[in-house]
Amino acid sequence: MNSVDAYICEREGAQKALLQYFHHLLLEQPGVEAKIRYQIPFYYRKSWVCYLNPVKKGGIELAFLRANELSNEQALLDFRGRKQVAGVIYYNLEEVEERLVMEVLQEALLLDDEVAYASKRQKPKS
């Protein structure tokens, strides 16, 4: 069992079901791998694409790291005061509209494949 599987097994109820669902959905995508970073599951191909973040009241946020570069035509992603990262919070599997999630995910993976991530942080001057 890898560290992401162990992480998911530690959860309960709707959070566990949502984590299992998204983990399976994300790993079905060619070249996508998962690692625990900052104590939560991150998914990447060339660079970090998204992560699964537990939220209060038993929900899971599917957050995309380069959301500011996505079209968000589905109006699914909420920035919640963040400039680059946006996501959608689910509290049970019935809320998930897989078609919309897959559209955002495919766009994020295409962006990851075709546009190299360039950090906006200032490099310290030597």
> Does 101 reside within a domain?
yes
10: amino acid identity, one letter: E
List C-alpha distances in Å: 81 to 30, 56, 87: 32, 17, 11
> Does 123 reside within a domain?
no
> Does 122 reside within a domain?
no
> Does 24 reside within a domain?
yes
Residue span of the structural domain in which 23 resides: 3-114
Strand order in the sheet with 40-44: 33-37, 40-44, 48-55, 59-64, 86-90
The total domain count for the chain is 1
Question: Structure tokens of 49?
Answer: 């694409």
> Does 27 reside within a domain?
yes
- 104 by Cβ neighbours in 10 Å (0-12 / 13-18 / 19+) ranks as buried
> Does 119 reside within a domain?
no
Positive/negative CA dihedral, 109, 71, 52, 14: negative
Non-local CB neighbours of 85 within 8 Å, separated by 6+ positions: 63, 64, 65, 67, 79
> Does 90 reside within a domain?
yes
The DSSP bridge pattern shows strands 59-64 and 40-44 to be unpaired
What are the pLDDT tens digits along the chain (126 aa)?
679 999 999 999 999 999 999 999 999 999 999 999 999 999 999 999 999 999 988 899 999 999 999 999 999 999 999 999 999 999 999 999 999 999 999 999 999 998 776 655 555 555
User: What local confidence, expressed as pLDDT, does residue 92 receive?
Assistant: 94
Are the C-beta atoms of 101 and 90 separated by less than 8 Å?
no
Please report where in the chains the tokens 């939220």 appear, as a residue: 55
Domain of 50, CATH number, reads 3.90.1150.200
> Does 120 reside within a domain?
no
Length of the chain: 126
